[in-house]
Each structure stands twice: as C-alpha cells, then as structure tokens.
Structure 1
Amino acid sequence: MPRLRALAATVGPKLGVAAAVTALVAGAATAVTTLDTPSAAAATALCDQYAKTTTADGKYRIQNNRWGTSAQQCIEPTATGFRVTQADGAVSTSGAPKSYPSIYWGCHYADCTTGFSPVQASSGTFGSVRTSVAMTYPTSGEWDASFDLWFDPTPRTDGQNTGAEVMVWLNHAGRPQPVGSKVGTVTLAGATWDVWYGNTGWNVVSYVRQTPTSSADFAVSTFFDDALARGWVQRSWYLTSIQAGFEPWTGGAGLAVTSFSAGTGSTGTPTATTSPTASPTATPTATASPTVTVTRSPRPTSGRPVCSATAKTESAWGAGAVQNVTVTNGGEARTGWTTVATLPAGQTVTNLWNGTWTQSGRTLTVKNASYNGSLAAGGTTSFGYQLAATGSTSTPATITCS
C-alpha cells in the first residue's frame, strides 16, 4: 500500500508531509496484477507495479508493491522469500521511498493469506503470534530493511489501517530515517533500539536497531506492549498483517528475504542473531514517559469516574507541532470521556486522530471516538493532533478530563 514511512533528517514542517501522504494513499486502490500459482512463485519475476504471488507452500503473499516511482522494479520469488533483481530510479530521501517489496501474512487491501482473520490484541491468541525473517543486503543504495506490523481499531481486511503501524528496522543504509522524531531507547528482543514516533494519519512507531542484523525472531507482543505503554496503540485494536521487506530510495537490487515465517505458536523459523526476551512485556525507558503538567478533574457529584489527561510534544517545528494526549481512567469502568484543554495563544489544531474535536478560541474539546470510549479501571487510551502555531508550540498549560 502507499506508504510514507521514513523521512530524511532534513524534513521540514509536517504539513507538507501530510499532503504527500494523502496523494500516496489515494493511489492505493490501483488494481494489482496477481500470479497465484506456486509454480509462478518459483519461476516468474514480478515486474508489474503491484504484482503479487503466493509462496510455494501457500502460506504467505509476495508483492512488488512499487508505488513511489514510475521506474522499473522487479522481484524474483523464491521457495522461501524473494530477491530484488531490478530497482531503477531514485527518489529524494526527504520524502517517501520508491516502494516496499515485501512478503506478508494477513491482509493487504482485501488480499488475505489463506485462513487469516485479524487478531485482537486483547485475545489470548495474540500473545502466541510470532514472526521471523532472514535477509541479505547489497553493499550500495539507500534503504531500510524492516518489519511492518499493522493495527486497526476494527477487524479490517481491506483499505488503509487507521490505528498504528509498528515498524521494526533491522538495518538501514544511507540518509533515510523514520517518520517523526526519536523519543527514547529501549531494550527488547535481546537488542537495544532507538524509538521514533510520528503520525501520517495513523500512528507510526518505529524501532531502529542500534546494531544492524540480518535476522530476527520475536513475539509481536514484544514491540506492541512497549508501544502500548507509550500510549500509541490500544489493547482493543486488531493485528491485520505482518509484513517484512525493504524500503529503497536509491538502488535496492540485491536486497533479499531468504526466509520468513509468521503466525500463531511456533513459527519454525531460522536461527536469528537476536533472541526474544523471556517476557513479552516491554519496559519502556524513562525518556518515553509523558512529561507535562496533568490536571485531574474532581469527581462529579453524579458519581462519574475521575480521569486524567497527559500531553506530550512528539515533534515540533517553527510553525507547528504534533502532540499526543494519553487519557487514563482513574475510577471504575467507563463508557466515554471528554477532555478540555487550554491551548497556548496562537495555536490552531488542523488535524486530530482517535477522537472527535472542536476548537473555540484557545479551548480544545476532545471526546472519545466510537472505538476508544470504553475504559476499564486504570485503563488508558490516547489521541493526537497536529497544530499550526504563530507563537509557542508547547503543550497545553491545563487539560481536564471527565
């Protein structure tokens, strides 16, 4: 699907990026050329823009997925993966990559692997979902090698996911870096990762391995639980696909997935250079904790549960910022919430996700969306917004929640 997943360090205001995302997403509905037989997977090169095939064992789908350039790209399916054999053209590293040639388990724009159903993160099944990959890399080009773990508030099998995209970067070459900004570091799956956060209409959480590797094997909940603790995914959301592949900006020929597996229980995967952690529960570093003033609303006389809201700036530039607000239920289970924030002078919200909102003067009122209003005692959810600013880009001085 069209993806704006990584940006060079020189990227400026995110308003321009959002426009690019809109254009890219609009191209996602382009029809694909599909090759569906195992024999095709073994012998036929995929050069059409959105050409796909099924692996010889019938478990996974392989896709050329070239959407960011008109230059030719071809991939050659193998018995256990694929290899990029041609990757013409180049695009600016200050924008989106050329493509995301990849192999996946799950659903990609209504094209689902056999027998797959979205897995809710609150289910017992989710904890047993694992994935692994082994890759080889060329010595030239600018690219990243990454997993793409997609989550949606609904059990979506078609269209663009609107919840979160959790990326796991195993390696990268050249200037590209993830969407948004670096917000901390964390140790997961036997390695240390830089954590990045941004939003392109959905939350993009990227884990960039500080020491590159050519293989990995982990439980999906390892990274999900860390993102959950940071307020960027929700336990009620659904895993809709696990994808592994490459985002090239320049070059890319020679990139290859030599082995891939995904599913519930044991995946029968190759030995990886990293070992999964003993517990799928991640412990985020202190740098990722929200760090602004929190105003708790008093318990109303009606007995409605108290809640709190915490705001944090994820990225900022001269004329705007992206901020995230975590809502925490401090009382008994509830079925709705409302936050009221006083914005600094000169701030205007231009886009908001995971909630419904109005702004009157400096007062921003946000109510829950249809899918994140129910909170158990101690439960959390979050929403985020992009703002334009003629003055300060700081977080609101006060936020109340009821």
Structure 2
Amino acid sequence: MRTPPPQVRALRGLLSALIATLASFAAVVALVAAAPPAQADTTICEPFGTTTIQGRYVVQNNRWGSSATQCVTATDSGFRVAQADGSVPTNGAPKSYPSVFNGCHYTTCSPGTSLPARLNTVSSAPSSISYGFVGDAVYNASYDIWLDPTPRTDGVNQTEIMIWFNRVGPIQPIGSPVGTATVGGRTWEVWSGGNGSNDVLSFVAPSAISSWSFDVMDFVRATVARGLAGNDWYLTSVQAGFEPWQNGAGLAVNSFSSTVQTGTGPGPDPDPDPGEPGEAACQVSYGTNVWQNGFTADVTVTNTGTAPVDGWRLAFTLPSGQRISNAWNASVTPSSGAVTATGVAHNARIAPGGSLSFGFQGTHGGTFAEPDGFRLNDAACTTA
C-alpha cells in the first residue's frame, strides 16, 4: 500500500478532528432539546385565578373578602404571596385564602385527583407541608379540609375542617372553644361553629408548626366522632395556605404534598362491628350515683383488642333532659345530646387489655336513664 504524502495525512487529521467536534456539538444539542424546560414561576393577581404545579396540584389566589390587590406566585413546589394589600377587621372574616390543593373546589379539580372519595373507602390520606412565615402581618397558616354528604365538585361543602398551624395577631376561629383533643399525636385547642353556609371544626396548635407530615384522616375521623360528618360522606379536597387579615406579602408554602389511598385498607366502617377482623374491640362499664335532679357517672373503658387505641374517643348519647356540668380525666363535649369523651395528655392511649376511667357530673329531669350505644373510635363497644 502506498503511503499518502504528508500534506494529505495532515488534511485527513484535520477533517477527522472537525467531524469529532461536530458530533460532540450535535450530541449536546440533542441533550438540550430532550431535557424538559424549567418551569417559570407564574404570578396570579386575578381574584380567583388558578394555575397547576407538579402536574397534580392547583394553586389558587382565592381573594374573596377584599377588593385590595393580592398576587400569588406559584413555584415548582408551592407558592408565595407576592402582594397582599389592604386589611379587614380582625373580628370578622379574613381577606382571602391563597392556597394549594388536591381535589375539587368550586368546579376546579386538580389533575388526576382521586377526590371526591367516600370516607369509608379511604385507608389513609398522607400529607406534608413546609411553611414560610412573616412577622409583619395578621394571619393564620392553615389546612382546609372539606367534607360533604355527596361527591360534590362545586360550591360549598357541608363541613369544613381547619387545622391552624400558626396564628399571628388578635384573630380566632369561627365559633367557640369546646375543649382540647389529641389528634395525630399532637394536642389541639378545638373550636366549633358555623359561618352561615357550613359547619366549621377547627383544630388550633398551641404554638407555631412550620412543617409537619401527617394523616388527614386522623382529623376526619375526629370530626366524624363529633357528629359533624358521617363515614358515608365524601372527602372533596385537601387544601393548605393562609388566611390573612392584614398584609401577608412574603408568606409561603415552600412545599406541599397530598395523596389519598383508597381501597380495602383500614378505612372507617360505616357500620362497625367489634367482632369483625380489624375493628377495635372494647367494653364499657357505666356506673352512676343518682339523686334528685343530679347525678355522677363513672365510666371505665377497656380495650379488649390486640392493638393499642391512640387518641381515644368514646361517643354516646345522653338521654333527654341530661346535661353535663363538669368532667374529670377526659374532655366531654358538648354538654348534652350526642357527646364525645376524649382522652387528655396523660391518658390518650389505651393499651391492649388495658382500661381507663373518667367521670362527669350532671343534672337531669324526670326519670333517670343510662345511655347506650357506646362507640370507641367509631367501633361499637359492649357494655359490662
């Protein structure tokens, strides 16, 4: 084989280097073209404007209580309040509820959501949140969880659960305080009332919570136990954001997640039977001391199952004419009718085979009778 002259060999080397360079450049161009474009932040100033993040949640400006400008900027993982002009009186409703949600709210549904979902088909609804707070505003940082007897995807649902992670300023939930409750392993101040359109049950943290992962169904079940919803109702949306009364720029949901797991898991049963597998088993002993127009009751609750009962709630109905005046070793609310006793800090758990006692004093009229139909965390109990 003949050897090419030096000039030809040099030209061939130059051409090979040029081809390699062009191939590398083409590969880089292909990678750039294949990579998904970064999502630019989206700012919304329309009162009820929305946008989608992560392909699964809806961010809403939701300015309904003021005509002053409010803008939210949706990010890849949450949103921040970019502008929050104006203020409203702190003894009334807030200006707005800028928020992010999974589910359906006023005809807007988040992509791919499994909501509305019937409560007795939901085994768990894990959610997590990370908040960014500011100090120059009056607001709460709160979840808004909506329940309705029907799988409604528009308008106002019948029961609203609020979880106040933080409150700044002289503001309070709708209604009045009705005691405390241990839900999700935390102690909350509980408020109950209505706003003219729906019932509201609020769980207020005693100090600020900036981030938390929890099961939304813990609060739903606590609401069912208080008679404000039924196990055959529907969970329609899980929302997280802020209710500002004054200012609010800089408030942020840094991250949010919400999933709803449905199927044949350990969801609440609309007609629980303590003999069914997986249901809590319990026995109640109800002892009384009765005198004219008055009585005391000593209640012993025994966990006859094999698993501990955390955050216990004993629901029963007082006969007509009976009213509770005070209680010990438990919070019992309301004072008459369908009542629920809940554990306090030192007795919030009933171990397997264990028991606890609480009591209350009350008044009665006419012939005295004892309640029946005791239910421990939504499971029917036998009586001793």
Whether TM exceeds 0.5 here: the answer is yes
Partner of 2:240: 244
User: Deviations 1:142-190 (Å, cap 9, x if unpaired)?
Assistant: 100000000000011111112x101111001001110001101112223
2:238 aligned with 1:226: no
Q: CA deviation at 1:111?
A: 0.6
Partner of 1:269: none
| Residue pairs, 1:2-401, within 5 angstroms | 42-55=40-53, 57-116=54-113, 117-123=115-121, 126-162=122-158, 164-200=159-195, 201-265=197-261, 282-284=311-313, 294-295=319-320, 326=338
User: Deviations 1:229-249 (Å, cap 9, x if unpaired)?
Assistant: 221221111000000000000
- C-alpha distance in 2, partners of 1:110/1:140? 34
- C-alpha distance in 1, partners of 2:226/2:148? 17
> Structure 2: 5+ residue runs without aligned partners?
1-35, 263-306, 326-333, 341-372, 377-384
- C-alpha distance in 1, partners of 2:323/2:216? 27
Secondary structure, aligned partner of 2:157: coil
- C-alpha distance in 2, partners of 1:120/1:282? 23
Q: Which amino acid aligns with 2:312?
A: T
Q: CA deviation at 1:312?
A: 8.9
Q: CA deviation at 1:96?
A: 0.7
Partner of 1:342: none
- C-alpha distance in 2, partners of 1:39/1:49? 28
- The answer to whether the 8 A contact 1:50-1:65 is kept is yes
- C-alpha distance in 2, partners of 1:282/1:98? 34
User: Deviations 1:333-360 (Å, cap 9, x if unpaired)?
Assistant: xxxxxxxxxxxxxxxxxxxxxxxxxxxx
- C-alpha distance in 2, partners of 1:70/1:295? 48
- C-alpha distance in 1, partners of 2:228/2:222? 9
Q: CA deviation at 1:280?
A: 9.1
Per the alignment, do residues 110 and 378 of structure 1 end up closer, same or farther by CA in structure 2, a change over 3 Å counting?
farther
Q: CA deviation at 1:327?
A: 9.6
Per the alignment, do residues 312 and 253 of structure 1 end up closer, same or farther by CA in structure 2, a change over 3 Å counting?
farther
The alignment yields a C-alpha RMSD, in angstroms, of 3.2
- C-alpha distance in 2, partners of 1:311/1:202? 26
Per the alignment, do residues 139 and 246 of structure 1 end up closer, same or farther by CA in structure 2, a change over 3 Å counting?
same
Greater C-alpha radius of gyration: 2
Q: CA deviation at 1:211?
A: 2.0
The share of aligned pairs that are identical, in percent, is 45
Q: CA deviation at 1:264?
A: 2.6
Secondary structure, aligned partner of 1:223: helix
Q: Which amino acid aligns with 2:164?
A: W
Secondary structure, aligned partner of 1:222: helix
* Structure 1 residue runs of 4 or more that deviate by more than 4 Å after TM superposition: 38-41, 278-281, 310-313, 322-325, 377-380
Per the alignment, do residues 86 and 39 of structure 1 end up closer, same or farther by CA in structure 2, a change over 3 Å counting?
farther
- The answer to whether the 8 A contact 1:221-1:280 is kept is no
How many residue pairs get matched? 255
